[in-house]
Amino acid sequence: MEPQHVEGDIEKVLLTEDDIQNRVSEMAAEIERDYEGKDVLFVGVLKGAIMIMADLSRRLTRHVEIDWMDISSYGSGTRSSGVVRIIKDLDMDITGRNVLVVEDIVDTGLTLSWLVSNLRSRGPASVEICALLRKPEAAKTAVDVRYVGFDIPNSFVVGYGLDFAEKYRNLRVIATLAPHMYS
Ligand code: 5GP
Ligand code: MG
Ligand code: MG
């Protein structure tokens, strides 16, 4: 979907399709340089990371393996609590592997900090994080995110994989929703 297909729902487009694609392309180039000569396994977090995973991985000029985890953060509504449950674990053994976690957004950081320590306990060679978005003002714990697409203000966003009640994931841009959408 384009913004005009859900025009009344959107408050503001924060990032256009070009903004996103250009930045993802830069991030892919950086990742490719950093992992030169090493094999890398991209671990995507369902479902928000589907779009960045698809675009980032296709920008690479080399092989990459891809696996997925689905985790659920206990907490009400749009709040993260840091108490995490694994809904779907990795299919692959990551012992000795270079893992790059691919995420949609770092909000409080609680989910990712739990995930990184969970993955580190499995004996990988390395674990780094790549996130399209980060909300610096929302941070509740320090998470070392090696590759960040954009720092954004502390408001709820949808699009490019990110949902509100499972909708808007297929919106091509990143946008905030109009206030009436929440009531
Ligand atoms: P955390 O607060 O633990 O860093 O964020 C956990 C998860 O909450 C993110 O991976 C993402 O799925 C969801 N989330 C956080 N902020 C937003 C937001 O602004 N919009 C949407 N749609 N999801 C968000
Ligand atoms: Mg996520
Ligand atoms: Mg969600």
Q: What is the DSSP letter of 35?
A: T
The answer, yes or no, to whether residue 77 has pLDDT greater than 70, is no
pTM confidence score: 0.94
| Residues lining ligand 1, Cβ inside 6 A | 48, 73, 80, 103-112, 156-158, 162-164
Query: Residue 37: its pLDDT value, please?
Result: 96
Cα separation, 80 vs 109, in Å, equals 9
Q: How far away, in angstroms, is 86 Cα from ligand 2 center?
A: 13
Ligand 1, residue 158: give the atom nearest the CA: 22
Mutation pick for ligand 1 pocket among 46, 70, 104, 163 (CB with most ligand atoms within 8 Å)? 104
Active-site hit among 34, 39, 89, 107: 107
Query: Residue 134: its pLDDT value, please?
Result: 96
Give the lowest-confidence range in 13-22, 68-77, 81-90, 153-162.
68-77
Q: In what order do the strands lie in the sheet with 157-158?
A: 10-15, 174-177, 157-158
The helix or strand, by DSSP H or E, that contains position 90, with its residue range, turns out to be none
**pLDDT tens digits for 14-55?**
999 999 999 999 999 999 999 999 999 999 999 999 999 999
Helix 50-59 crosses helix 17-34 at what angle (to 10 degrees)?
60
* Tokens standing for residue 151: 């720092």
Q: How far away, in angstroms, is 135 Cα from ligand 1 center?
A: 10
The answer, yes or no, to whether residue 82 has pLDDT greater than 90, is no
Q: Whose CA is nearest to atom 19 of ligand 1?
A: 156
Full residue range of the structural domain in which residue 43 is found: 18-154
Q: How far away, in angstroms, is 164 Cα from ligand 1 center?
A: 10
Return the higher-pLDDT residue of 80 and 34.
34
Cα separation, 143 vs 167, in Å, equals 28
Query: How many domains does the chain contain in total?
Result: 1
Count Cβ atoms below 10 Å from residue 137 Cβ, excluding itself: 11
In a domain, 118, yes or no: yes
The answer, yes or no, to whether residue 80 has pLDDT greater than 80, is no
Provide the CATH number for the domain around residue 106: 3.40.50.2020
In a domain, 112, yes or no: yes
* Tokens standing for residue 32: 């490719």
In a domain, 166, yes or no: no
For residue 107, indicate whether it is catalytic: yes
In a domain, 25, yes or no: yes
What counts of helices (H) and strands (E) characterise the chain? 3, 9
* Tokens standing for residue 89: 């674990």
Ligand lying closest to the C-alpha of residue 79: 1
In a domain, 4, yes or no: no
| Check: complex ipTM more than 0.85 | yes
In a domain, 168, yes or no: no
In a domain, 60, yes or no: yes
Quick one: CA dihedral 71, 74, 80, 81, positive or negative? negative
**pLDDT tens digits for 95-151?**
999 999 999 999 999 999 999 999 999 999 999 999 999 999 988 888 999 999 999
In a domain, 79, yes or no: yes
* Tokens standing for residue 98: 């270079």
